[in-house]
Amino acid sequence: MMTSEATTPFVARSQPPIAALLVLGAITLFFAYVGMTAFDTSLPVIGPRRLGRPPQGMGIAFFVLAALSLAATVWQLRRRFNPNVDVIADADGIASQQSFRGRGCLAWKEISRIEPRYQSLLYIYGMPTAGKAKRLVIDTAHIDVPTADLFAVIARHRPDLVSVPRS
Does residue 13 sit within a domain? no
59 and 96 in a common domain = no
Does residue 76 sit within a domain? yes
- Residue 51: pLDDT band (50, 70, 90) is low
Give pLDDT, residue 89. 87
What DSSP assignment string belongs to the chain? ---HHHHSPEEEEB---HHHHHHHHHHHHHHHHHHHHTT-TTSPPPS-GGG-SPPHHHHHHHHHHHHHHHHHHHHHHHHHHSPPEEEEE-SSEEEE-S-SSS-EEEEGGGEEEEEEETTTEEEEEE--TTSS-EEEEEEGGGBSS-HHHHHHHHHHH-GGGSPPPP-
Residue 2 in this model has a pLDDT that exceeds 60: no
Report how many domains make up the chain.
2
- Residue 99: pLDDT band (50, 70, 90) is low
- What's the mean pLDDT in 63-67? 95
- Residue 46: pLDDT band (50, 70, 90) is low
92 and 66 in a common domain = no
Does residue 115 sit within a domain? yes
Does residue 7 sit within a domain? no
12 or 102, which is more confident? 12
Computed over every residue of the chain, the mean pLDDT equals: 81
Give pLDDT, residue 165. 52
Give pLDDT, residue 7. 63
The separation between the first and the last C-alpha atoms of the chain, rounded to the nearest angstrom, is: 33
> Among residues 38, 63, 81, which one ends one of the domains?
81
Structural domain span for residue 33: 18-81
Give pLDDT, residue 1. 41
92 and 136 in a common domain = yes
